[in-house]
Structure formats: structure tokens, C-alpha cells
Structure 1
Amino acid sequence: MNTVLPRASSLVRTILSAIVLLAGAPLAMAKSTSISHAPWGALLETYVEPGADGVNRVDYAALKANQADRDALDTYIAQYADLDFDALTRDEQFAAWANLYNAVTVRYIVEEYPLSTIKPWYSRGPWKKIKVIADGEEISLDGIEHGVLRQQWADDPRLHYAINCASYGCPNLRVEPWQAETLNADLDEAARDYINHPRGVSVLKNGLRVSSIYDWFEADFGGSEEAVIAHLLSYAGPALAEKIRANPDIRDHDYDWSLNDTSK
């Protein structure tokens, strides 16, 4: 009896110690290997309004007033927290990152609304401070654009037509989410839409005024003015292409930071 009890007590202590250790250990979270962009698509269809002037605007006021849809936006964004990006194809990864960037931007504007711009003249913008959890890690909008998209898709300048900074001067926020199945064709369409709109290219008497995107990210478009012109010609319609070839000199850059709001 006296010899059994110590052994039993020792065994109990060992079991209890193991339980305590297990209770204190972080649990491995199962990651999701896919994501549906349908909820984001439903919100885009409801709140993005294509204009006769070729600019898509967002009804931020209506979304702010609809708590159910704001909750749906939060739920969609929350799915990214445990999404395993490594389990996605390359096109699925691009679509997911671009959709996340745009969804988080819309949420930020709605939270801050009413406002006239995402970037006041005295500000460097909120992109470093706007953060979200994706694939188990915190990342900012700045990180998505410059640390992910511009790094992993450095050979494809069309990435700049995929993300929307809630501004008039930016490429349109599409009325549909990015999808892997149609990604290449949709990126081409987005490039054509922007380049053939005055926000992208305007013809002056002595040359061209182009979006500041082609100045800020000239390296992504080939690293020279000649490379930028070649990119523009790849997507310009016949009439615009003829004018670009007639005077292929970039004389000015322009960007309108006004909010892409339906009330504007």
C-alpha cells in the first residue's frame, strides 16, 4: 500500500502536468484553402454605379446606412484571416489580394464617411495605417500593394488597374469582383478602360497629359517614358493610338484625389 501510492501520485502529477502544458500551448488553427468572392460581388453590384462619363462611383452613404450590408462586408473580409494563400493558384492569389485591398478600402471610407477625399493635401494618406489580417498575419494596404502585388507580380503592370484607392483619378472599382477564371481578360479590359479615358491619357497640343500613376510607378511600366508610351499604345483605341504616335511626348502628369462618391 505504501509503495503503490507514491507511484500513483507520481502518475497523476505527470498527467496533470501534461494537461497544463497542453492547455497553455497555442492551438494550430486550421486554414481555409478557398474563398468565395460572391458576397463582395453582391455588394459591388448594389453600391457601385457606372457613370455615363466612364467613371464608376460608389454610394458610400447608402452602404453606411445599411448595417446588414456593412456586416456582410466585415464577414467577407474576416474570411481572409485564416485563408491559406499558398493553397491557391497564382491567379486565385492575385484575385484574392486585389479584392481584399478594394474591400478594405471601401470599408475604411464607409467608416470615415462623410469625407471628400481619402488623401487630404497635407497627408501622405492612410495606407500604412489601414490594416487587416490575411493568412494569419497583419498587413496594411500599403503592404498589399507594394509588398505583395508589386513584388510577386512585378512583371505585370496591369496590377495597377486592379486596385482602387477610392479616388476619381484611380482606375475604376469594377462592378464585379476579380476572379481567377477571367483574370487576364478582365485586366486587359481594365487597362483599356483607363487608358482610353481622360483620367489615363489626354492629348494636348504639344504632347500628352497622362495619369500620375505612370510617373509614380514608371519602373513597373518599363522604366522609361518610351516604355510607358509603348504600354499605352498596347491598349489605346485606334483614334487615341494615332494621336499618341503623332506626338509621343509626355508633357504633364495629373491625378484627381476627389472621392469616387455618387454624390460628386
Structure 2
Amino acid sequence: MEEFNNSLPGRVTVYSIQGCPHCVQAKATLKQLGVPVCDVDMGSHSELRVKLKELTGRSTVPQIFFNNVHIGGNDDLQKLAPDELQRLVTLVKEEPLPADAPPLPQSNSSQDGAGENDGAADLSLLLREMILKLFSEHLSADGKSVDYKGMSANPAFERYCELAIQLQRVELMSLSREEKLAFFINIYNALVIHGYLRMGAPTNMWQRYRFFNYVSYLIGGEVFTLQDIENGVLRGNRKGVAQLRRPFSKTDPRLQMALPDAEPLIHFALNCGAKGCPPIKTYTPQDIDSQLRTAAEAFLENDDACVVDSGKREVRLSQIFKWYKADFGGTDEKLLKWVLDHMSDSPKKTSLQGVLSAGKTKVSFLPYDWGSNSSH
């Protein structure tokens, strides 16, 4: 938790995670207002996740409070009318913190996933933490651009590369399903950023195809590209977008790493929405299934992931649901039921229930914004 100057009676509380562009932008905006900002890192204080969800009804970060007034995420902050913003600033400057102010972490709270991990899980957590810390340091104040040049010149990046070499010594065969999920999701997310540093971020479908089939790590003596990790391991060796065959052939030793079934929730752990990130920085084997559910809820809250149009009886979904439709049941009907089952209680969920109960729902897909994804 970041210290803040508390000479004023109230405070602004921001719940954030490292490496989240929306969190960086919100904190930069608040800093200009001259109010004391208390920054709570949800990556280190996962025990507050449930409480925050109860208070806000949302699964994304950042979440911002002026004293006990919840205003929402970065998007909501940027849209506030000047007089409303002024009223909130005055509230913090003049009114003492009320008893029902949002909670701060206990000073002795434990780190996520400390303790019982084996070597592989520990290494994947460490690599993901290191590259996110680096990424955070080189993210612009508006959260919109990353100084990849500065990042690759940072001595911490060299240490990261040295540590990544240790992946070749990891023993993968003994990992459980939960350990495999956490390990490969963390490694995938770290490798994407490492790939951006080496090759730049892909800006169209062809570049994306090349990037995901080329950027790789040597893990446990075998080479795994991003594509191998996503489609080979995490999707149970299924064909990816624009692929003619499965990633691993029957004789490929990496086939033993593939999970038995496609895990649809991984698609949201490998993504950061355009308006808010899931409040999880790294994934841990102990809690992986609930962490993945939270990531899916956070993704579906974003309007670039799911829009319900009750008037037209239409549901517009992210391209991810089109590309990987097979993982979500294969038909529009099963896909919509899956989306409904994985949404958090919200007006959007109520609208979707209404549209579905009326029958004959039209499904279409939203344009994919390559730009917003260059800051994973």
C-alpha cells in the first residue's frame, strides 16, 4: 500500500494492481487534484477482493472512493462533470473520514500464494511479478503508452532474462491441473510483454499470427510458443485461429502437457479489457478457479466485451467468443448461457436474462480493438 500525505481529514482510496494502464491513468488524474490518495494494491491484498465486490458490485480495477462515496473506475472518473468533481474534492478536504469508509489492508496480511508452491509455480509467479513491475515503471502517466526502449535498457530486464533461462530446468510432468493452469497463464502473460520488447506489439491480424507463432520460451527442455501455450496446453490441444492442424502431433512430447479439456476461462486471464483489468496480478494454484471466474466477470463487465441491446433483442460480444466459440459450447444458445452464468449480478445481467427469456436472440460480434491490447 502506498503511503500518502494525510494532512487533510478525508482521503481518496484507489484499489488497483500493478501494470494496469487504467489504474495508472486514474492515479495521475487524482494526483493533479491535490487530494491525499491511498493506493491499495489488490495483487498483494487479495483478501479485500470479496469486500470490494460487495461494496461496488464490480470485479474490475481501479475502483475509486472519495471518503465513502464510490465513483467507479477510471472511465467514470474521467467523465465526471467539473462541478461534481469539485464537490468530491471539497468533501475529502473538509469532511473527516466516515466510519463506513472503504477498508484498508491489515498490515500483516499475507502475499498472494505465499508458501506451499513448488519450484515451477514460484518461478512463474516471480517472472510475472518482475515483468509487471518493470512494465509499471515504464508506463506513461496517462496509462496509454509504454516506453519499451527504456524498459529493455533497464538493468532489471537483464535480471528477468537471466531468470527466464531457468525455465528450461522446470519439471513439468509432475504438475497438477491447477499448477499447470497457474504456471502457464503467468508464463504466457510474461512472455507477451517480453515479446513486445523484442518485436513490438502486433497491430493487425497477420502480425498477431506471426507474433504468437514465433515468440517462445524453452521450458523443461521443450520450446513453447505463445500459440503452443494457449492452444496446445491451455485449450487441450485444439486448433487456434487460422490454424489448419492441432499444435501438438500424437508423437510430440509436449502433448503430455496439454490439459485434458479446453478451459474457457483462460481466455480472460490472458486479456486485459479496454476499460478495466481483473483485480488479479498473478495466478496461484491454490485459488486458480475462483481467480479465473473473477477475471471472466471483470471482462464481461466491460462494454467492449459484452453489450446487451434489449430493444433489438441482440447481444454483441467480443471477437474472442467468435474465435473460440467451440470452447463455449459451439452454438449461439450455449454461448449465451455460458456468458449469463459467468456474469456478476448487475443491470447488464438482468437485461441479458430478459432478452434470453424472450427467445430468438441475435448474436453479433464487436470489432476488435488492437490498439487497446498493446498495453496488456
Instruction: Give TM-score, length-normalised by structure 1.
Output: 0.72
**What letter matches 1:92 in structure 2?**
E
**What letter matches 2:304 in structure 1?**
R
Shift in Å at residue 149 of structure 1?
0.7
1:83 alignment counterpart: 170
Q: Quick one: structure 1 residues 231 and 100, their matched pair in 2 at CA, closer, same or farther if it must change by over 3 Å?
A: same
- SS across alignment from 1:176: coil
The alignment of Structure 1 onto Structure 2 pairs a total of residues equal to 222
Q: Using CA pairs under 8 Å that are at least 6 residues apart, name the structure with larger relative contact order, 1 or 2.
A: 1
Within 2, Cα distance between the matches of 1:209 and 1:174?
Answer: 24
Counting only pairs closer than 5 Å after superposition, residues 220-235 of structure 1 correspond to structure 2 as: 220-235=327-342
Q: Which of 126, 138, 141 is the equivalent residue of 2:211?
A: 126
- SS across alignment from 1:157: coil
Shift in Å at residue 154 of structure 1?
2.3
- SS across alignment from 1:80: helix
Within 2, Cα distance between the matches of 1:219 and 1:121?
Answer: 20
Counting only pairs closer than 5 Å after superposition, residues 27-66 of structure 1 correspond to structure 2 as: 34=120, 35-36=122-123, 37-45=125-133, 47-48=135-136, 59-61=146-148, 64=151, 66=153
Answer yes or no: is 1:243 the counterpart of 2:351. Answer: yes
Is the 8 Å Cα contact of residues 48 and 174 (structure 1) preserved in structure 2? no
Shift in Å at residue 184 of structure 1?
1.3
Within 1, Cα distance between the matches of 2:133 and 2:341?
Answer: 29
Within 2, Cα distance between the matches of 1:208 and 1:233?
Answer: 11
2:368 alignment counterpart: 255
Deviations 1:38-75 (CA, angstroms, capped at 9, x unpaired): 342143245349xxxxxx87745376254222123313
Q: Quick one: structure 1 residues 190 and 247, their matched pair in 2 at CA, closer, same or farther if it must change by over 3 Å?
A: same
Shift in Å at residue 122 of structure 1?
4.8
Answer yes or no: is 1:183 the counterpart of 2:288. Answer: yes
Is the 8 Å Cα contact of residues 48 and 58 (structure 1) preserved in structure 2? no
Is the 8 Å Cα contact of residues 162 and 171 (structure 1) preserved in structure 2? no
Q: Which of 160, 165, 182 is the equivalent residue of 1:73?
A: 160
More helix by share: 1
Within 1, Cα distance between the matches of 2:327 and 2:291?
Answer: 19
- SS across alignment from 1:251: strand
Within 2, Cα distance between the matches of 1:170 and 1:137?
Answer: 36
Q: Quick one: structure 1 residues 88 and 208, their matched pair in 2 at CA, closer, same or farther if it must change by over 3 Å?
A: same
Shift in Å at residue 177 of structure 1?
1.4
**Gap runs ≥5 in structure 2:** 1-117, 138-142, 237-258
**What letter matches 1:94 in structure 2?**
L
Point out the structure with max Rg over C-alpha: 1
Percentage of identical aligned residues: 20
Q: Which moved more, 1:204-213 or 1:148-157?
A: 148-157
Within 1, Cα distance between the matches of 2:198 and 2:188?
Answer: 15
Answer yes or no: is 1:163 the counterpart of 2:276. Answer: no
**What letter matches 2:171 in structure 1?**
D
Within 1, Cα distance between the matches of 2:273 and 2:156?
Answer: 24
Instruction: Give TM-score, length-normalised by structure 2.
Output: 0.52
- SS across alignment from 1:255: coil
Q: CA RMSD in A?
A: 3.1
Shift in Å at residue 146 of structure 1?
0.8
- SS across alignment from 1:99: helix
1:3 alignment counterpart: none
**What letter matches 2:335 in structure 1?**
V
Answer yes or no: is 1:195 the counterpart of 2:300. Answer: yes
- SS across alignment from 1:41: helix
Shift in Å at residue 88 of structure 1?
2.3
- SS across alignment from 1:88: coil
Q: Which of 196, 206, 218 is the equivalent residue of 2:325?
A: 218
Q: Quick one: structure 1 residues 215 and 260, their matched pair in 2 at CA, closer, same or farther if it must change by over 3 Å?
A: closer
Within 1, Cα distance between the matches of 2:161 and 2:155?
Answer: 10
